[in-house]
Amino acid sequence: MTLQTIDPLTAKRLIDNGAVLVDIREPDEHARERVPGARNTPLSRLGSLATDAKAIVFHCRSGARTSGNASRLAAAVAGEAYILEGGIDAWKKAGLPVAIDRAQPIEIMRQVQITAGALVLAGILLGIWVAPAFLALSGFVGAGLMFAGISGRCGMAKLLGLMPWNRRLARVAA
């Protein structure tokens, strides 16, 4: 079973008439930026969704995660369900309200991208200007990223998750 995609204005009408908006992004993503009233049920912990709502509208950031997991999302609900086309990005472009909490840290995966990029760049620059042995740093980071992609486990994300700025992730009221 696949889910029908709907535009943000149609989704808003459904929500105003009793549908539940479910954000399938991870809690760190939801804490930083969210649609007010959206229920955070991360895809990584998705089971079956029990609700008395008329319908469920799933969303992520861009729509790619929801579209790519449509059959899994459909299996999690017993009733009517939809995917918000374009995710929260499209919701914002439609001029609909979004709550942003800049006190929350940026998403872990963005932190991984920033850190990995900085380490690779540092390894190359140090390898060119200081000693060629520093090129191994870039190789190490590249190997770690390959391992993360193959295994689905990212050591850098786990390490960054332990950093003080990520410990203050507040529980966000949906």
Using one digit for the tens of pLDDT, what is the confidence trace for 100-127? 988 888 888 899 999 999 999 999 999 9
- Candidate list 19, 24, 60, 81, residue with the active-site label: 60
Domain ranges for the chain: 4-100, 108-167
Give the per-residue pLDDT at 54. Answer: 82
Alpha-carbon span 38 to 128, nearest angstrom: 49
Q: What is the pLDDT of residues 36-86, one digit of tens each?
A: 999 999 988 887 777 777 899 999 999 999 999 999 999 888 889 999 999
Q: Give catalytic status of residue 154 as yes or no.
A: no
pTM of the model: 0.75
What pLDDT sits at residue 169? 53
**What topology is assigned to 4-100 in CATH?**
Oxidized Rhodanese; domain 1 (3.40.250)
Backbone phi and psi for residue 71, each to the nearest 5 degrees, phi listed first: -70, -35
Residues 6+ apart with CB under 8 A from 3: 58, 66, 70, 73, 74, 81, 82, 83
Instruction: Give the other-Cβ count within 10 Å of 150's Cβ.
Output: 8
Q: Which residues, other chains included, contact 78 with Cβ-Cβ below 8 Å and sequence gap of 6+? A: 48
Among all chains, which residue has been given the structure tokens 């995966």?
A: 109
- In order of 15, 23, 42, 88, the CA distances from 27 in angstroms are 21, 9, 7, 15
